[in-house]
Amino acid sequence: MDSLITAAARALATGDPLGALNRIALRDDAPALALRGIAMAQLGDLVRAKTLVRSAARAFGPKEALARARCVVAEAEIAFASRDLNWPTKALDAARATLQAHGDWVNAAHARYLEIRRLLLIGHLDEAEHRLAELDPTSLPPASRAAYELVVAGIAMRRLQTKAARVALERAERAAQHAAIPALTAEVESAARILDTPAARLIVGGQERPMLLDEIEALLASPALVVDACRYVVRDAGSSVSLARRPVLFALARALGEAWPADVPRETLIARAFRMKFADDSHRARLRVELGRLRAALHLIADVVATRRGFALVPRVARDVVVLARPVEEQHATLLAFLADSESWSSSALALALGASQRTVQRTLDTLAAAGKVQSFGHGRARRWMTPQVPGFATVLLLTGLLPND
């Protein structure tokens, strides 16, 4: 590498994309194209960054397999940062194998990190954790070590292991400070704020209050009977019953849990479960059938008893009954939760993450856009969706610069 390429690469490694562009903005050779692409990615112009990195990969000759593999890794990170989760992961696997064969362990580890981050985004926690165990963080440079700890913290948060998440974020903060990259430090701080942001609501006896992740973890470990409206599960200290595929039964369980220890009138239960304003004898008969099914489903942890005016939930072991609800009651709350990360998502990426059809997601996005809850930009396959007001910091691109091996 010549001196300008080396200086530009070092500027990118320290989070200074403008300094890098000042050195190589007018050059069109392959290394300069690659570094310009990384700089544009760090500045947030992901479309131009993708074009430049792809051009650099084509410009490198067939004998420059190592440089081409690094370009593939950079393109993969740009794709995942723009939430193009359908980007071909086989190309990333091949690039990682090439990097390992040439002894570039840092970029090979970064390629593995990108695979894990994609799995984390689409909710495949077990597979992400398995692949994370294959990485040795002790040999990583500070910036890559911070990225590794952010993934560890992300998995721990999703598993409601808040103590492990805080420890990982502390390690990530130390690594980010050592790397001296302001954007990376900001991302760690943004991730840490999640632990201090309400993640659910607790409803007890008609009263509700927000709950942090560590409070949710403590609640689920307590002996109380919890009607979990985030996962559609009813659980106590000994067992749990999933009602995710039985929405009517869960609606009844939630209504009974919110009113506990009081009972719920039959008309209220019919309105909550069947969405009927007026009830007749057929609805009352159906209510008895559905409550019988609920009683059979919950027989290990609770009973449903009839009262003079309605029905009540009676736990078998637990002394208290609480309802854990989402922070905001919204029909499409799960989709909005993905968009709340301030990144721009494609409808195909949202469909992959939600496990739904792309057409269903597109109809939902159109409905939310008409209500002013989401907005889009671009057209066709380049169309992206995001929330109108972007909170916090955008996800930083931790692209490893094309530094010399020394």
Given this model, what pLDDT does residue 388 score? 64
Q: What angle do CA 45, 51, 54 make, to 5 degrees?
A: 130
Closest CA to 397 of 106, 83, 32: 83
Is residue 310 helix, strand or coil?
A: strand
Task: Identify the band that residue 166 occupies on the pLDDT scale cut at 50, 70 and 90.
Answer: very high
* Rounded average pLDDT over 303-311: 91
Range with the lowest mean pLDDT among 167-171, 232-236, 372-376? 372-376
Q: Is the pLDDT reported for residue 32 higher than 70?
A: yes
- Is the preceding peptide bond at 388 cis, omega within 30 degrees of 0? no
What pLDDT does 256 receive? Answer: 93
390 pLDDT exceeds 50?
no
CB-CB contact of 83 with 118 (8 Å): no
Residue 366 has pLDDT above 70, yes or no: yes
Reduced to 3 states (helix: H, G, I; strand: E, B; else coil), residue 261 is: coil
Q: What is the pLDDT of residue 311?
A: 93
Average pLDDT over residues 138-148: 87
- Give me the pLDDT at residue 6, please: 87
Over pLDDT 90: what percentage of the chain? Answer: 21
Amino acid present at 31:
P
pLDDT attached to residue 341 = 62
Average confidence (pLDDT) over 115-127: 85
- CA-CA distance, 208 to 324, in Å (whole number)? 9
- What integer is the mean pLDDT of 129-133? 88
- CA–CA separation, 141 and 119 (whole Å): 23
Task: Write down the pLDDT at residue 1.
Answer: 52
Instruction: Please give the mean pLDDT across all residues of the chain.
Output: 83
What is the reported pLDDT for 323? 93
Span 37-58, average pLDDT: 87
Cα–Cα dist 132/314, whole Å: 43
Give the lowest-confidence range in 7-11, 247-251, 318-322, 380-384: 380-384
Looking at residue 396, what is its pLDDT? 27
* Of 113-117, 124-128, 275-279, 349-353, the least confident: 275-279
Residues in Cβ contact with 33 at an 8 Å cutoff, skipping those fewer than 6 apart: 27, 52, 53, 55, 56, 59
More confident residue, 394 or 322: 322
CA-CA distance, 167 to 177, in Å (whole number)?
16
Flag whether pLDDT at 134 surpasses 90. Answer: no
The pLDDT value recorded for residue 405 is: 37
**Residues 76-106: tens digit of each pLDDT:** 888 887 777 777 888 889 999 999 898 888 8
At residue 397 the predicted structure's pLDDT band, cuts being 50, 70 and 90, is very low
Q: What is the pLDDT, as a whole number, of residue 404?
A: 36
Task: Tell me the average pLDDT across 356-384.
Answer: 79
- Sequence-distant (6+) residues with CB within 8 A of 62 are none
pLDDT digits (tens, 9 = 90+) for 204-230: 887 889 888 899 999 988 999 999 988
The pLDDT tens digits of the residues spanning 256-300 come to 999 998 999 988 899 888 887 777 778 889 999 999 999 999 999
What percent of the chain is modeled with pLDDT above 70?
Answer: 92
Angle at CA 33, nearest 5°, toward 31 and 34?
A: 65
Identify which has the larger pLDDT, 330 or 305.
305
Q: Could you tell me the CA-to-CA distances from 220 to 83, 102, 159, 234, 406 in Å, in that order? A: 32, 48, 12, 11, 51
Cα-Cα-Cα-Cα dihedral sign, residues 381, 382, 387, 393: positive
